């Protein structure tokens, strides 16, 4: 597929294409931005465009998607396209020093068929200290034909020394309307479902393309019940629900839905346009709460929920986290007495 098929990311696409056109491709890039918005796809397209066998047209360098080189990069069989990713089998997935060493041994050789020998490092924030140090040495003295593409949604977790060796390309989620349009075309779903998915995933196109509408709608109903004023009034109900959800490994799901509800409450409280709300079917409930909710507490709560999403939940006691979040939601939405 060509760059134009990648939803959004106009700035990164323009920069990357221009760097090929003017022969200014750096030796290392850091593609950073939220999860599931197209960073890895952009990196693959960039690699394909650099090594594409087809002459490009008036729109500039691109990946034709059909030549041998493009197809081999897509199927991960290209001899000059190397991929490092964390071992997902591990409890705490990491990129180990051995993985970096293996690449180092290959990257020093000239490309076999392409113009550049390219190494894509996905979830680069998962490099161990040792692996990051080994990579740093390679980045400090890169082979002329080598190109490293590091991808991360947590750039701050990478050593500053590694970051400083990379050209930084920031990715932001595409506009909601772009995601909706893509969903309607690619998934052939009704506009109402496209809108629902685009808002529920916060325009994370990767998630929106995969998510099951029916499953999400069912979860929405279920968790709405948990967050209704009626449930929140009883502390016992909150504690029982938190325990049950934790035991069935559904605490992360519950937290995601609470975050979506809190976002809607804030939007209603701040007088935003109805079109921005996810829970449009619950407009009456949202508006009823609008008069009494405490916007400051909800904003604090949203910040906390976002920080939980960003952190690895592995080390958290999710039952306690969920209890605490629900009690705070109760404080922020229910008037005293």
Site residues for Zn ion per CB under 5 A: 52, 54, 64, 67, 70
**Which residue, 42 or 258, is less far from Zn ion as judged by CB?**
42
- CA distances (Å), origin 217, targets 188, 221, 224, 229, 257: 18, 6, 10, 20, 11
CB of 49 to Zn ion, least distance (A): 8
Q: Which is nearer to Zn ion, 52 or 121 (CB)?
A: 52
Q: Which is nearer to Zn ion, 70 or 258 (CB)?
A: 70
Exposure b/e, 98-132, CB count within 10 A at least 16 = b: ebbeebbeebeeebeebebbbbbbbbbbbbeeebb
Closer residue to Zn ion in complex, CB, 20/301: 20
**Strands 146-152 and 167-170, sheet pairing:** unpaired
Strand partners, 170: 32
Radius of gyration for the alpha carbons in the chain, expressed in angstroms and rounded: 23
- Integer Cα distance of 8 and 14 in angstroms: 11
The answer to whether 66 and 54 are in contact (CB under 8 A) is yes
Q: Provide the minimum distance between the beta carbon of 45 and Zn ion in the complex, in angstroms, as a whole number.
A: 10
Q: How far is the CB of 51 from Zn ion (least distance, A)?
A: 8
The answer to whether 333 touches 265, Cβ cutoff 8 Å, is yes
Give 177-197 as a DSSP string: HHHHHHHHHHH---HHHHHHH
CB of 117 to Zn ion, least distance (A): 17
User: Closest CB to Zn ion among 47 and 325?
Assistant: 47
- Helices then strands, counting H and E runs in the chain, come out as 16, 5
CB of residue 144 to Zn ion, shortest distance in Å:
23
Residue 174 CB, shortest distance to Zn ion, in Å, is: 24
* DSSP state, residue 23: T
User: Residue 38 Cβ, how far from Zn ion at the closest point, in Å?
Assistant: 19
Of 17 and 126, nearer to Zn ion (C-beta) is: 17
Q: Give the residue with the Cβ less far from Zn ion, 53 or 306.
A: 53
């Amino acid at each position: 597929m060509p760059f134009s098929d990648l939803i959004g990311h106009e700035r990164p696409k323009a920069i990357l294409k221009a760097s090929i056109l003017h022969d200014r491709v750096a030796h290392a890039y850091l593609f950073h931005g939220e999860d599931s918005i197209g960073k890895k796809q952009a990196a693959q397209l960039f690699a394909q465009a650099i090594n594409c066998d087809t002459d490009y047209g008036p729109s500039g360098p691109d990946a034709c998607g059909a030549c041998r080189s493009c197809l081999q990069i897509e199927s991960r069989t290209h001899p000059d396209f190397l991929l490092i990713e964390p071992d997902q089998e591990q409890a705490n997935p990491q990129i180990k020093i051995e993985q970096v060493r293996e690449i180092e041994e290959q990257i020093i050789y000239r490309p076999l068929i392409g113009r550049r020998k390219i190494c894509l490092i996905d979830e680069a924030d998962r490099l161990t200290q040792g692996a990051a140090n080994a990579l740093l040495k390679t980045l400090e003295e890169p082979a002329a034909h080598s190109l490293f593409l590091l991808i991360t949604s947590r750039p701050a977790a990478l050593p500053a020394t590694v970051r400083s060796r990379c050209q930084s390309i920031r990715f932001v989620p595409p506009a909601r309307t772009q995601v909706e349009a893509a969903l309607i075309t690619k998934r052939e779903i009704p506009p109402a479902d496209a809108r629902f998915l685009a808002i529920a995933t916060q325009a994370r196109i990767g998630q929106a393309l995969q998510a099951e509408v029916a499953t999400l709608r069912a979860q929405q109903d279920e968790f709405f019940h948990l967050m209704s004023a009626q449930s929140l009034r009883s502390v016992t109900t909150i504690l029982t629900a938190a325990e049950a959800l934790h035991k069935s490994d559904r605490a992360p799901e519950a937290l995601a839905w609470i975050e979506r509800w809190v976002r809607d409450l804030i939007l209603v409280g701040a007088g935003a346009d109805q079109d921005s709300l996810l829970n449009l079917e619950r407009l009456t409930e949202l508006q009823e709460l609008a008069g009494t909710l405490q916007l400051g507490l909800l904003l604090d709560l949203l910040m906390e929920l976002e920080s939980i999403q960003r952190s690895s939940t592995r080390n958290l006691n999710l039952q306690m986290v969920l209890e605490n979040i629900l009690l705070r939601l109760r404080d922020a939405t229910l008037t005293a007495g």
